[in-house]
Amino acid sequence: MLITSTNMSSSSPLWFPCRLLLLSSIFMASTVRGNNFNKDFDVVWGNSNAKMLNKGHVVELSLNRELGSRIQSKNRYLFGRIDLQIKLVRGESAGTITSFYMCSGGAMHDEVDFEFLGNVSGEPYILHTNIFSHGKGDREQQFSLWFDPTEDFHTYSMLWNPRNIILFIDETPIRVFKNNEAFGVPFPAKQPMRVFASIWDADDWATQGGRIKTDWSKAPFTASYKNFKAKACVWKGKRHDCGNPAWLNQQLDWLSWMTMNWVQMNYMVYDYCSDDKRFPRGFPLECRLPN
């Protein structure tokens, strides 16, 4: 079991296109929390492949040869702590991607991604993470999960505040993207984002770089989601005081940094900041700044 700091607890090369959003104003409203997919989300693609279960507390998203499925939050958020529990596709899932992400929409979109790359049975799931700011992504880090994510639900979390973006698995921090705008690195800080969950076919790159294709005889591929929580500032189209919740200034403490570094040393399988073949003229600026 991985040990994390107690004060951290709280109660892609390709990206899946977001629906374009109309941004009507510039600030935020109140802190909210949700736990009902019927109330908190709309099905925006593959309605027949999205099933609301247990009075809306669980949603199953499926992929078949014809189409996948996607839901998006009714609310947009500007900063927050977003948690979602996911149980991934069991068995053969090569070529598929199960995702949980935030996105603002538009050509200059901001986005934070959890994308689970389907696997050949018996191989570990690969978690693909990426962060876009002002339309620029290419900040991929990938992890081999240290548990079987198909046997039970695990909690995947995004903490987004003006200081940093922190990604967690079951409260264990795995990645930080700091706000380095003072050094010229764009950071998502002005565009509200919706929360999305989806499953889709990406066998041109999802599994072993596209070498393993989707086996449609194993379809439908189904992932389950539950316990959506949003402690976040809701965009209401006019300035509101969001207060000063603890997460708004949260950063990793020393023990959490050590835990994250241990995870990255043992389970990270790709880091754009160490890919010198991809960046022969030097790594991106944020890779060269101190943590």
Q: Which residue numbers are catalytic?
A: 111, 115
| Closest listed residue to residue 244, CA positions, set 158, 181, 161 | 161
3-state secondary structure labels for all residues of the chain = CCCCCHHHCCCCCCCCCCCCCCCCCCCECCEECCCCHHHHEEEEECHHHEEEEHHHCEEEEEECCCCCEEEEECCCEEEEEEEEEEECCCCCCCCEEEEEEEECCCCCCCEEEEEEECCCCCCCCEEEEEEEECCECCCCEEEECCCCCCCCCEEEEEEECCCEEEEEECCEEEEEEECCHHHCCCCCCCCCEEEEEEEEECCCCCCHHHCCCCCHHHCCEEEEEEEEEEEEEECCCCCECCCCCHHHHCCCCHHHHHHHHHHHHHHEEEEHHHCCCCCCCCCCHHHHCCC
